[in-house]
């Protein structure tokens, strides 16, 4: 999860299509996902550059990392590696970033800890840690290319809703898409949310999206931040723009080992408060939100400074992932979830024509 640097729909058929844009696509389009970045030019780093980056890493994890005792272990390890000359042969900036990331994760196994190299100069952050206008514009353009995380929204056979979600975009940018998606799927008899390629995003958007799936205000996952020594409670909202899906109809979440961060936040909350059934694989295991920190002109790191706390389990999924209710290979999860919903539908369906359609679809999937 990324800790942030801190219309109502009318004429539904027109407004929904406009708001969803590329998200309203055929549900057969399962490929895609992931923000693949173009290759960048490597650069040579000398001893002074290596020392500057390592010192900055140690400073940042000491000041900000969520567990001070683990920060001390990581710092000691980095100093010992410097003293023993383990970084001396590294002249590639890309390689240095990878090696430092590996060192940080050696003792913590925290996949949110990461050092990155950028060929373009990283600007000095403005007061308040706000994005510069250029950064904000670049981020918005990148999000637009991926439709703010909404890969596919549609309807499967026999009136099952389907959302393939790859990221939880920032609330102000994704609000209209969530409203449009839930309006489009308002009359479906069950909903499948595909998180198999979900790599993370904004925890505030997790709350926003989850708010459509309950009938009343519901406690999700809280976040404790080291810097403020403060617990932020995370609840769904009392009201939502547009149409609430509610909690009377079944919801199935598809997971894989690639499901990570904010996707796990969403899955862990809905699993433990009983709102959704998880089908697929155990997720990646990243429960620590954090901030990007500038190390030098060309190096940056992500420093997790918080941890999630679930109101039911009193813990989180860090390092262990979120276990599915129905374990199955990720590639089979969609069929398994459809079968589960269809069998629930068949048990209460009274119309002979629909009974036949549901049985036929069950036969196709089996």
Chain segment 238-249, per-residue pLDDT in tens:
999 999 999 999
Q: Cα dist. 89→25, 44, 52, 86, 167 in Å? A: 50, 11, 16, 7, 38
Task: Report pLDDT for 3.
Answer: 47
Burial of 239 (0-12, 13-18, 19+ CB in 10 A): exposed
Q: Which has the higher per-residue pLDDT, 107 or 24? A: 107
Q: Which of 16-20, 83-87, 114-118, 168-172 has the lowest mean pLDDT?
A: 16-20
Task: Report pLDDT for 90.
Answer: 96
The answer to whether residue 20 scores a pLDDT higher than 80 is no
pTM score: 0.84
Task: Report pLDDT for 320.
Answer: 95
The answer to whether residue 341 scores a pLDDT higher than 70 is yes
Q: Model confidence at 40, in pLDDT bands (50, 70, 90)?
A: confident
Phi and psi of 332, rounded to 5°?
Answer: -100, -5
If you average pLDDT over residues 294-307, what whole number do you get? 96
If you average pLDDT over residues 306-322, what whole number do you get? 96
Task: Report pLDDT for 257.
Answer: 97
The answer to whether residue 42 scores a pLDDT higher than 90 is yes
Residues 6+ apart with CB under 8 A from 11: none
The answer to whether residue 363 scores a pLDDT higher than 70 is yes
Task: Report pLDDT for 25.
Answer: 35
Q: Model confidence at 1, in pLDDT bands (50, 70, 90)?
A: low
Q: Which of 14-18, 128-132, 256-260, 269-273 has the lowest mean pLDDT?
A: 14-18
Task: Report pLDDT for 135.
Answer: 75
The answer to whether residue 116 scores a pLDDT higher than 60 is yes
Q: Model confidence at 38, in pLDDT bands (50, 70, 90)?
A: low
Q: Model confidence at 137, in pLDDT bands (50, 70, 90)?
A: confident
If you average pLDDT over residues 190-219, what whole number do you get? 96
């Amino acid at each position: 999860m990324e800790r942030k640097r801190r219309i109502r729909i009318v004429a539904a058929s027109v407004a929904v299509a406009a708001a969803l844009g590329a998200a309203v696509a055929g549900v057969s389009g399962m490929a895609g996902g992931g923000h693949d970045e173009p290759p960048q030019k490597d650069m040579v780093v000398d001893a002074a550059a290596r020392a500057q980056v390592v010192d900055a890493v140690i400073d940042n994890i000491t000041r900000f990392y969520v567990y001070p005792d683990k920060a001390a272990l990581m710092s000691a390890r980095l100093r010992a590696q410097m003293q023993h000359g383990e970084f001396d042969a590294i002249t590639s900036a890309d390689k240095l970033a990878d090696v430092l990331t590996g060192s940080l994760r050696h003792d913590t196994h925290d996949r949110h800890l990461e050092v990155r190299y950028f060929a373009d100069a990283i600007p000095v952050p403005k007061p308040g840690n706000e994005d510069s206008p250029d950064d904000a514009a670049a981020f918005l353009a990148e999000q637009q290319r991926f439709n703010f995380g909404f890969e596919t929204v549609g309807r499967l056979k026999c009136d099952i809703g389907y959302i393939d979600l790859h990221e939880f975009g920032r609330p102000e940018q994704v609000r209209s898409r969530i409203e449009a998606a839930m309006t489009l799927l308002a009359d479906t008899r069950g909903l499948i949310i595909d998180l198999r390629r979900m790599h993370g995003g904004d925890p505030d958007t997790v709350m926003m999206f989850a708010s459509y799936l309950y009938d009343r205000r519901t406690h999700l996952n809280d976040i404790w931040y080291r810097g403020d020594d403060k617990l932020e409670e995370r609840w769904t909202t009392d009201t939502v723009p547009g149409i609430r899906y509610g909690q009377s109809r079944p919801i199935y979440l598809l997971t894989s080992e690639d499901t990570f961060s904010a996707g796990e936040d969403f899955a862990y909350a809905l699993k433990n408060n009983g709102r959704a059934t998880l089908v697929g694989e155990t997720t990646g295991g990243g429960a620590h939100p954090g901030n990007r920190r500038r190390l030098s002109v060309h190096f940056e790191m992500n420093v997790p400074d918080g941890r999630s706390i679930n109101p039911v389990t009193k813990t989180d999924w860090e390092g262990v992932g979120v276990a599915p209710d129905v374990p199955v290979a990720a590639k089979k999860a969609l069929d398994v979830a459809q079968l589960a919903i269809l069998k629930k539908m068949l048990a209460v369906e009274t119309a002979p024509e629909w009974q036949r359609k549901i049985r036929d679809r069950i036969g196709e999937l089996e």
